Chains A and B, each alone.
Chain A
Amino acid sequence: MSMIFGVPFAVLSGQLLIGIINGAFYALLSLGLAVIFGLLKIINFAHGAMYMLGAMVTVIMFDALGVNYWVALFLAPLTVGVFGVVIEYFLLRRIAGQDHIYSLLLTFGVALLIQGVLTNIYGVSGLRYSMPDMFKGGMNLGFMFLPYYRAWVIVVALLVCFGTWFMIEKTKLGSYLRAGTEDSQLMQGFGINVPLLVSLTYGFGVMLAAFAGVLAAPIYSVTPVMGSNLLIVVFAVVVIGGMGSIGGAILTGIAMGVIEGLTKTYYPEAASAVIFLVMVVVLMFRPSGLFGKEA
């Protein structure tokens, strides 16, 4: 068996795979955060809760109605997206233009509410959700075993990330979003319905989180607190990448997952701290993040 820096190649590639998968989740989540922050100037602390809702809705719909994974992949993000639009319309809109701290506290409160209600009903021990039969098993790549479902997560997460990037950077609708990020008042002065755009953007951002939640349901423990654990890491990823950049959020997400995986292989004690260490170093040299625009 070949060794790389004293670690068997199979172990290394296994950890790298887990790293890339975690990175794909970081990328999906930080992408949504960046999109929301861009137009709404809101730091969405409810993002972890939306991710969790995506997973919970998937499980609940399956248990109650027998809705299968493929339908849930569309229906759960849609449900959570509509929920997000409602939250934007009835809550966030009232404090638009106020200091960041208000929206931060409000979204944090919303997250605690959702989490609290679901904990009351379902507890925190975790719900069981089995993956579709076609994803059971995996293939032997010679140097490692690749479970089908993990491969699927990587591919579909990257596709969604790329699709989002393409929509924002290359389409007409995306140009509204980019321009609105810079000066939404002037956009509205041109005749564009900015309040509607804001609602839909928030809905879309939380949809991305919920989509990640559906992808997570078969491989992670589905509990009402699964989002709050992840969110802190995702915020660190966003800080490293810089709030302003869509492509940056994706690349940083994946890179941080890989770095975490590598650390787990070579120095497991630091694995859960390494992202924050990177954050500190990046902030020292580039306060606006790796891909952020200098303010």
Chain B
Amino acid sequence: MSHGPDKEYEQLRVSGLHAFYGESHILHGIDMVVNRGELVTLLGRNGAGRTTTLKAIMNMVGRRTGSIMINGEETMSCAPHHIARLGVGYCPEHRGIFSSLNVQENLTLPPVVRSGGMSLEEIYTMFPNLYERRFSQGTKLSGGEQQMLAMARILRTGANMLLLDEITEGLAPVIVEKLGEVLTALKKKGLTIVLVEQNFHFAKPLADRHYVVEHGQIVEEIRADELEAKQSLLNDYLGV
């Protein structure tokens, strides 16, 4: 049941989503759908509203209007800790490694929200560096290791939809490659992934679909098989 994309099952449906930070109106009606097992990216320039879209799904912005359905359930009135319990794993752009916790404490901090998460052993097999440094202070790790930790942390919870914000930012090519392998493995396991990504070359071979975000709206949806035909359009949007 959980193997392979189930294109019929809508894991996430966002419609007419507006979001505000105080007086600033950031999102102007985001509409997107992500099916179970899909890997979808949000592309766009800095400040287009991609990070805010993920945060709005987590109910971490000031004010929101519109609709966000997770597994067919309306979540606009849910507190953030209830959203996580619907099986959503969030990896913020700043990674959010806690400096007063060691690596293992960071890893085991998020409560298990669904069965079927990875065990500590599986995680340490996937990320041997984390095992070696499990008693180090979380923020003493290198940037790459911290990113691995931030990813590993939500894999243990059994979340089946991951919201990943700029996970390759500022990392060495060899680490980026490792993250690519991890995402491929997670996709094979049937996890749904929404990826905010600056590094298009990283996202391109992994993604099933791309949404282009501009001025707080989705301006283009591109399936992986349309990429070549729409490449120049995409370049215009991303300004490359």
Contact = CB atoms under 8 A, between A and B. Distances in A.
A194 B101 contact: no
B98 A183 contact: yes
B96 interface: yes
Interface string A179-206: 1011101111111111100000000000
Nearest to A187: B109
B109 A189 contact: no
- Determine chain A's interface SS by DSSP, over half rule: helix
Contacts of B110: 190-192
Contacts, number: 60
Contacts of A181: 100
Interface in A127-177: 172, 175-176
B231 interface: no
Interface string B95-138: 01011110001001111010000000000000000000000000
A77 to B, nearest CB: 26
B157 A182 contact: no
B104 to A, nearest CB: 10
Interface string B45-65: 000000000000010100000
A175 B99 contact: no
A188 B55 CA distance: 12
A233 B58 CA distance: 43
Contacts of A183: 96, 98
A138 B101 CA distance: 44
A190 B154 CA distance: 8
Contact of B81 (A172, A175, A178, A194): A194
Contacts of A172: 108
B109 A188 contact: no
B96 A192 contact: no
Given A175-B101, A181-B100, A182-B99, A191 B85 contact: yes
B90 A182 contact: no
B60 A191 contact: no
Contact of A189 (B60, B100, B108): B60
A188 B113 CA distance: 13
A150 to B, nearest CB: 35
B12 to A, nearest CB: 16
Contacts of A179: 98, 100-101, 109
A189 B165 CA distance: 14
B100 A190 contact: no
A179 B98 CA distance: 6
A188 B101 contact: no
B109 A190 contact: yes
Contacts of A185: 60, 80
A193 B83 CA distance: 11
A187 B110 CA distance: 7
Closest 10 CB pairs of A and B: A191-B84, A190-B110, A178-B100, A188-B80, A179-B98, A186-B96, A175-B105, A188-B81, A189-B90, A191-B85
12 contacts: A175-B105, A179-B109, A181-B100, A187-B109, A188-B80, A188-B84, A189-B81, A190-B109, A190-B154, A194-B80, A194-B81, A195-B79
Given A189-B90, A191-B81, A192-B110, 8 more contacts: A188-B80, A189-B58, A189-B60, A190-B111, A191-B84, A191-B113, A192-B81, A192-B111
